[in-house]
Chains A and B, each alone.
Chain A
């Protein structure tokens, strides 16, 4: 009997079937993770009276459309435009990151050129630079370019990421065989041709992962958009939501109706691409 016990304990955790307690704790974790989102919906669908009573409301009300209509009709918040702006910014940034980072990742992974090791080390080092610290100077640079208050100011700093280059390089090293690249070259393919016809098809899963992570991160960005876009007619959705919460009397059912609308696209992405996002984060961890 003790031998059997030892056999069970000696199994690696990932081979040990989860017991009831594991499921219970995980279920509690899920509850903790999902509750604020659920409660966001509750507040977004309630009227003022429902929010001013104890115990607090725990089921959604029926005022969602009323609240949403109010959010969209507020004069100086530009909520509808802000959703479009966020979509533009996130899409452009994502497309650019995917293209430039896969290009550079391919070069670092498969091409031989002088200085490639040093330059790659530089990319890795920049991973740890907190670029929020250059934000004052970035504002001045954007001022000189005349871009402050426009979407360009938000798009430009996001166009490439060190993480993207790093992630793409890792993926290409592991999935694109050298022989395939070599034989294509022997057949007369140029480097760009190899990129387009061999590398791109092979890295589709990695593009999905990086694309999702980039889109989510860009959509959620707040500090820099707030600095450069606040007070203009072109806020991103995060700036618009914070505008809803500004002033002396904040009406939370409106704020959270706006917040909810700005969160839905990401919930949809998690629902569809959750597997990819999980993969991206876990693969990103093993590299380090």
Chain B
């Protein structure tokens, strides 16, 4: 901050009153001063403002406004209904067979996809955690499903699980299951369609979760394994007794993540229908999920109010299930606290 500087006086520090200041200098000082104060005090807010404004308008507000809509008669095809519906949409929900069926399907698919997905991810992660040749390529390879659009992969699986010329039935036939004379109809009943959809979900997310686990595994201090070796723990035991408890926070994170994702399953059940636009999830709703039902109620039946009520119900269900899963996983994976 010396006066020998020819460059513009730094606004960074309170300029000490200098001798021989002209009024013009002073004016410039105060202007700089103000700019500096503005920069220090308000600039941070300006920098975070775009995030908060955009998030509020397109994220938070719709979520809250959804509550209002759920209390209204909001039919796109019938604007003459009274404005408020009170709790009508919610009471209708309780007696709606479609809703309970969709809830049942959602949970069925959720269980069939989440449990194998996370267990297999754990196995893949522990394999990737070895000293490997071409390490990066293995890691990139397991991400192939992650970057593939679900729309695209579901279409492949749709053909894969087709009744007559599908590869799934052909392969099972080699093992004497089904066979060409008695092929499995993957779209005819709940269990088979759930398995088909769960396969798609598992395929998509195993690699991604494996990388999350791998990241956590690599931050486990190495000497922990030495102690385990002294106790004579084999590799499999080490995985369960040491690795899993040590990466427990990430395990919890993935459980929550796949709960949130799994209960909102939409694209897979949508495109598993042979006509991707009808949103019924099978001829009798064999695999219709809640997210799919919300879409159907809102944009096929044009009843947005009811769809909003359903969204809220789903939100609560997700909260409860995520909570239960959190506690369960915490116990199972050996957390003491």
Contacts and interface: CB of A to CB of B under 8 A. Distances in A.
Interface of A: 6-7, 9-18, 22-23, 25-26, 29-30, 32-34, 36-37, 39-40, 43, 51-56, 100-101, 103-104, 106-108, 111-113, 116, 119, 123, 126, 128-141, 156-157, 159-160, 162, 165, 185-188, 190-192, 195, 216, 219-220, 222-223, 226-227, 238, 241-243, 245-248, 250, 252, 255-256, 259-260, 262-263, 266-267, 269-270, 274-275, 277-278, 281-286, 288
Contacts of B140: 270, 274-275, 277-278
A116 to B, nearest CB: 7
B51 A246 contact: no
Q: Binding site of B, secondary structure by majority: helix, strand, loop or mixed?
A: helix
A53 B54 contact: no
B335 interface: no
Contacts of B124: 26, 29
Contacts of A10: 225-226, 228-230
Q: Binding site of A, secondary structure by majority: helix, strand, loop or mixed?
A: helix
B214 interface: yes
Contacts of B155: 40, 241, 245, 252, 255-256, 259
A247 B312 CA distance: 32
Given A128-B260, A136-B298, A262-B152, 6 more contacts: A107-B48, A186-B10, A216-B147, A247-B275, A255-B155, A275-B136
B327 interface: no
Contacts of B307: 136
B70 to A, nearest CB: 8
B295 A227 contact: yes
A183 to B, nearest CB: 10
B147 A269 contact: yes
14 contacts: A11-B229, A23-B132, A33-B142, A54-B165, A106-B47, A133-B318, A137-B69, A191-B40, A222-B267, A245-B276, A259-B155, A262-B151, A274-B136, A275-B136
A13 B225 contact: yes
B198 to A, nearest CB: 14
Given A16-B131, A141-B62, A222 B295 contact: no
For chain B, the bracket of interface size reads 35 or more
Nearest to A5: B229
Most chain B CB within 10 A, of A17, A185, A192, A245, is at: A245
Contacts of A220: 147, 149-151
Contacts of A52: 164-165
Given A227-B295, A274-B136, A116 B12 contact: no
B142 A135 contact: no
Given A54-B165, A132-B291, A116 B44 contact: yes
Interface of B: 7-13, 35, 39-41, 43-45, 47-48, 50-52, 54-55, 57-66, 68-69, 74, 123-124, 126-133, 136, 138-153, 155-160, 164-167, 170, 180, 203, 206-208, 211-220, 222, 224-226, 228-230, 233-235, 238, 243, 249-250, 253, 256, 260, 264, 266-267, 270-271, 274-277, 291, 294-295, 298-299, 304, 307-308, 311-312, 314-315, 318
B89 to A, nearest CB: 11
Contacts of A255: 155
Most chain A CB within 10 A, of B126, B157, B304, is at: B304
A100 B151 CA distance: 29
Contacts of A275: 136, 140
Contact of B304 (A139, A156, A186): A139
Given A10-B226, A12-B222, A137 B63 contact: yes
B90 to A, nearest CB: 14
Given A26-B127, A186-B12, A190-B39, A13 B143 contact: no
B50 A266 contact: no
B156 A130 contact: no
Contacts of B159: 39, 43, 51, 252, 256
Given A13-B126, A34-B141, A136 B148 contact: no
Contact of B151 (A15, A129, A222, A248): A222
B84 to A, nearest CB: 16
Contacts of B41: 113
A174 to B, nearest CB: 15
Contacts of B218: 14
Given A101-B51, A275-B140, A25 B145 contact: no
A160 B50 contact: yes
A33 B204 CA distance: 8
Contacts of A56: 165-167, 170
A156 B55 CA distance: 10
A112 B202 CA distance: 44
B249 A288 contact: yes
A152 B155 CA distance: 27
A54 B7 CA distance: 81
In the complex, the 9 A-B pairs of residues with the closest C-beta atoms, listed nearest first: A10-B229, A134-B62, A274-B140, A188-B10, A259-B152, A282-B215, A134-B63, A18-B130, A137-B62
B232 to A, nearest CB: 8
A249 B27 CA distance: 78
Contact of B127 (A25, A129, A186): A25
